[in-house]
Structure 1
Amino acid sequence: MSFRLSLRTKTILAAVLLPFAITACESRVNVRGNFPDPDDVSQLETGVSSRRDVAELLGSPSTLSTFKDQVWYYIGEKVEKTAFYDPVVLDRKVLVISFSPEGKLTESRSYALEDGRVIDPVTRETPTEGQDLTIVQQLLGNLGKFNPSAGE
């Protein structure tokens, strides 16, 4: 028993499936975080602008410094993802805004993707105390160590 499709059925099937096949490999660009407008950043004045002024102009920061809120970070990133490949970072910007204890702007610095550094994680393992036993040693290790009369 052979199963044959007519030319018309094949054409309709191809027309329906082709858009799905094409879009499956299409790359997507995701924008994450906060990219403050450079014109807005240039309006900030050192020693004059307050935390409130910065928040009204740039919006809320992506994150704050660990202790108190004397340093604000505005972090934005554009990432391209294509099918099953690893994502590729197209653009990354970090705006660091520092405040005095009185809440006035003391400094603003901007970093781009080129300013970042690649960090190589340590791959060594921490040794643990005890013996390294094979599965057979673990299974047979307790033979003869239990006294059946002790439970009576």
Structure 2
Amino acid sequence: MTMFRLHRPARALLAAAGLSAVIAVTGCAPLVQPVVEDRGYIFDPSDLEKLQTGASKEQVRTVMGSPSTVSTVDGEAWYYISSRFETVMFYRPKEIERTVAAVYFDKSEAVQEVAYYGLEDGQIVNFVDRTTPTRGKELTILGQLFGNLGRFNNPGAGIPSVGTGDPNQRR
């Protein structure tokens, strides 16, 4: 009885095929469950139904609590904002759901209207931008490279050159 032997390239190819099959099978199954978190105001549907046209600001505050934010124009609107974020592994959190209840008041500070908005009704506005705008010329990479060509022609411009002096002298 002879034993079936594979040559080294054939064994490597077989091992690669087996590893590919294992990766393909496990890649289809969700290995990592996303972390879901709620942020902001947690809506209770029964509280939202209690808001009636003509209610005072104090009645709204008693039912709903303090608003997430207030309109900057005379405080004529209160906003209760709730968001749901999903985070998968090390990626940035992604907002998957947003609910905004807007309570609009008239001049006598009575509820005029209650409106509901979702994620599809608005756009995300970044109030804090982490980039600093630069002023001046916007140069391309070629402009930056060729712009520096004439700046380094004068070797005696007050910049000490490396390797001058006595190599045996210590400082």
Give structure 2 stretches of 5+ with no counterpart: 1-31, 126-132, 158-171
Of 99, 108, 112, which aligns to 1:102?
Answer: 108
Cα pair 1:35 1:93 within 8 Å, conserved: no
Normalising by the residue count of structure 2, what TM-score does the alignment of the two structures yield? Answer: 0.55
Query: Does residue 62 of structure 1 match 2:68?
Result: yes
Query: What are the superposed Cα offsets for residues 24-78 of structure 1, whole Å, 9 maximum, x if unpaired?
Result: x55322211103312111111102x111111110111110111221111111001
Root-mean-square deviation (CA, aligned residues, Å) is 3.2
* Amino acid in the other structure paired with 2:49: S
Q: How far apart in 2 are the matches of 1:65 and 1:75?
A: 13
Cα deviation digits, residues 2-34 of structure 1 (max 9, x gap) = xxxxxxxxxxxxxxxxxxxxxxx5532221110
Alignment of 1:96-135 (within 5 A): 96-117=102-123, 128=136, 134-135=147-148
Higher normalized strand content (fraction of residues): 1
Structure-1-length-normalised TM-score: 0.61
Higher normalized contact order (CA 8 Å, seq sep 6+, divided by chain length): 1
Q: Return 102-111 or 32-41, whichever deviates more.
A: 32-41
Structure with max Cα Rg:
2
Structure 1 residue 128: Cα displacement: 2.7
Q: 1:57 to 1:140 in 2, by over 3 A?
A: farther
Alignment of structure 1 residues 39-78 onto 2, 5 Å: 39-47=46-54, 49-78=55-84
Counterpart residue identity of residue 42, structure 2: F
> Partner of 1:33 in structure 2?
40
After TM superposition, which residue ranges in structure 1, 4 or more long, deviate above 6 angstroms? none
Match of 1:80 among 76, 86, 93: 86
CA offsets 1:108-149 (integer angstroms, 9 cap, x no match): 100122323478xxxxx88736x97734545669x98xxxxx
Identical residues among aligned pairs (%):
32
Report how many aligned residue pairs link the two structures: 114
Structure 1, gaps ≥5 residues long: 1-24, 120-124, 145-152
